Structure 1
Amino acid sequence: MEANHRHLGCQRIWFWRGWHIRYTYIRPMGSGSPDGKPSMVPLLLLHGFGSALGQWRSNLQALSQSHCVYALDFLGFGGSQKAPAAYNVNLWADLVYDFWRCFIGQPAVILGHSLGSLVGLTAAIDHPEIALGLALLTLPDAQTTQPPNWARSLERAFASPVLLWPLFKFVTQEWLLRSVLQSIYIRRELVDDELVALFATPPRDKGALDTFCRLARSRSHSDDYSPKTVAQMLPQLSIPILFLWGNQDRIVPLAGFRQLQNQLQLALAPPQFQLIEIDNAGHCAYDEYPEIVNQHILTWIQSSLISA
């Protein structure tokens, strides 16, 4: 099981609002910074939808060479509790803020992937004191792709345990998960047993079906799931933001972000905004080309946040 792998750091359970949350941390080793000394800037890594902290299997150790690195599983995902909660971006943003208060307590770099980027962006807007900068590996907008009202009503009607049980059993089979991941990854050879287990293990937990239903219902309520749009939030930030995007991402295509950039008239250039495209990478560039992604993140932190 991926939760037992040493490369994922020192894993612990933290109780939040009465629910257990899995997290991990790695202390800096001191060899990754230019002067050989660890940086005082901590990193907080936030995973994507349906994933968990194990997705950072190729990033945690490398980033911890010069930074104290933290990662957690959102409530309802990974090794965290499958709780009877009203799941939405604000809930996870509150979780991030409370985790930051308990374990970090100083401005950090928030590194998010997909849903984690949206949650990190929301948390930084709601609680500016937590973020020194944001490194966002793709940034979806929960509201722009929502189906029409009649379709959302239909989704809610079918989001019950009895009706979703057959679908839940089907979509959590390992052979199907492997096939889906191979369609997401450009480098299909990286879809190994460890990666498949990352997605196949949590659905076996107690309460997983109920969580699946609650997530299905919450995502059909666009205003409740993510009240703020990316277009509303980005202009409010004055901290540096690094966008990292696989140029072959089919889940959150770069073209959509380019349209948003034009709409907001964002100048994607340092020091505030910077966009780096990762060639021949899909939605999971951090795992397909970890050495490249890790180096871009470390270089950006050094140039935009530490040396600036």
Structure 2
Amino acid sequence: MKEQRFQYKDIELNVMEGPKHGLPILLLHGATKNWQVFKPIIEELVHYLYVLAIDFRGHGKSKHVPGAYKLQDYLLDTHCFIKEYIKEPSIILGHSLGGMIGLMTAAHYPKLVRALIMLDAPLTTAALKRLITEQGEFANHLIQWLKVSRLLNISSFNNIHIPESLAQCDPDMLHAMINDFEATFHQYSIDELFPKIKCPLLIIRGNPKIGSLVEDHEVMQVKALLSDFTDIKLPYAGHSPINHDKRAVLKAINVFLRQYFKI
């Protein structure tokens, strides 16, 4: 596996690329994370897939783009990366925000997406709103910390060590999500997106009682819009199924892909 750069216009994304064998699968991480969140499953996926992952703009080692952190901006990056770098239709596996962007990509650019795997990705914005309401005050303190941390070279906040992935974030990206929620997420509508999905779809979700952002009634809403998809609920996983039940996640991915592709 190697890290390199992908550039288009004034955007520069950090890319992780595995050996070129098998169908391409693009891994899209969640908000405040980076591609390395997928490390626990990459080591197995590379055996039968051409694995690629990007750091979203404003995350990881990718370029910060102040003022351009709406879902449409992440969608544009993803579309350009598949079209100009991978250059063939790809499987998308997205966690949380990454799953939301994967859904938008499959809906708006169906010829670029072979299959979509949404890993505890919110199906509506309701759960995100609740989370932001609960964490808003802390998040705004964190935004201020991020602004000064680069000047003072500090790595803790209120005596709490800040993970590298969070310390790498552009504070303007967090500000957009926390304080400009409607403008950032307004293009995410399951009523509009799911009816446009033409590729195989797998939803892997955790248990809302221990942190999942996907509710049973939301899955029922999707079933009313899209009859043919696979839904797997992991009772002992929360919002981070890779960390909580890696084996179950890998099994679900493998079974799903073998159902549709020769791998």
TM range (shorter): 0.7 to 0.9
- Between structure 1 and structure 2, the one with the greater Rg is 1
* CA distance in structure 2 between the partners assigned to 1:99 and 1:56 by the alignment: 18
- Residue matched to 2:152: none
Matched, 1:275 2:231: yes
Instruction: Provide closer, same or farther for how the CA distance between residues 18 and 137 of structure 1 changes in structure 2, counting only shifts above 3 A.
Output: same
What TM-score, normalized to structure 2?
Answer: 0.82
Q: Which 5+ residue runs of structure 2 have no aligned equivalent?
A: 150-154
2:32/2:59 contact within 8 Å kept = yes
1:44-83 → structure 2 map (5 Å cutoff) = 44-83=26-65
3-state secondary structure, aligned to 2:36: helix
Deviation at 1:209?
3.4
Q: Counterpart of 1:198?
A: 165
Between the aligned partners of 2:257 and 2:146, the Cα distance in structure 1 is 43
Report whether the alignment pairs 1:21 with 2:13: yes
Q: Tell whether the 8 Å contact from 1:132 to 1:305 is kept in structure 2 after alignment.
A: no
User: Which ranges in structure 1 are unaligned for 5 or more consecutive residues?
Assistant: 1-8, 29-37, 179-195
Quote how far apart the aligned CAs of 1:281 are. 1.2
Q: Distance in 1 between matches of 2:206 and 2:173?
A: 30
CA distances 1:139-162 after superposition (whole Å, capped 9, x unpaired): 2146435769xx9xxx9xxx999x
- How much has 1:124 moved relative to structure 2? 1.2
Structure 1 pair 108/85, CA: closer, same or farther in 2 (3 Å)? same
Distance (whole Å) between structure 2 residues aligned to residue 140 and residue 86 of structure 1: 21
1:44-97, CA deviations, whole angstroms, 9 ceiling, x for partnerless residues?
A: 000001111010111112101001011001101111112223211111011001
Per-residue CA shift, 1:244-285, capped at 9, x if unaligned? 11225644444x2x212333544998xx31111223111111
Distance of aligned partners of 1:47 and 1:304 in 2 relative to their CA distance in 1, 3 Å threshold: same
- The whole-number CA distance in structure 2 between the counterparts of 1:84 and 1:197 is 20
Is the CA contact (8 Å cut-off) linking 1:244 and 1:277 kept in structure 2? Answer: yes
In 2, are the aligned partners of 1:88 and 1:218 still within 8 Å (CA)?
no
> Which residue identity does 1:108 align to in structure 2?
S
Structure 2 residue aligned with 1:227, among 187, 203, 209? 187
Preserved CA contact (<8 Å) 1:46 1:71: yes
Q: Distance in 2 between matches of 1:304 and 1:97?
A: 23
Structure 2 equivalent of residue 236 of structure 1? 196
1:261 corresponding residue in structure 2: 219
Equivalent-residue separation in structure 1 for 2:225 and 2:188 (angstroms): 22
SS in 1 for 2:126: coil
Aligned residue type for 1:261: V
Is 2:236–2:244's contact at 8 Å kept on the other side of the alignment?
Answer: no
Please say which of residues 113-122 and 15-24 is displaced more in the overlay.
Answer: 15-24
2:98 alignment partner, one of 116, 133, 150 = 116
Aligned-partner SS, 2:221: helix
Give the length in aligned residue pairs: 251
* Counterpart Cα distance in 1 of 2:121 and 2:226: 14
* Structure-1-length-normalised TM-score: 0.71
The correspondence for 2:156, drawn from 173, 179, 195, is 173
Regions of 4+ moved over 6 Å: 167-170
**Partners in 2 of 1:291 and 1:305 — Cα distance?**
21
In structure 2, relative to structure 1, the CA distance for the partners of 1:105 and 1:25 (3 Å cut) is same
Q: CA-atom RMSD, angstroms?
A: 3.2
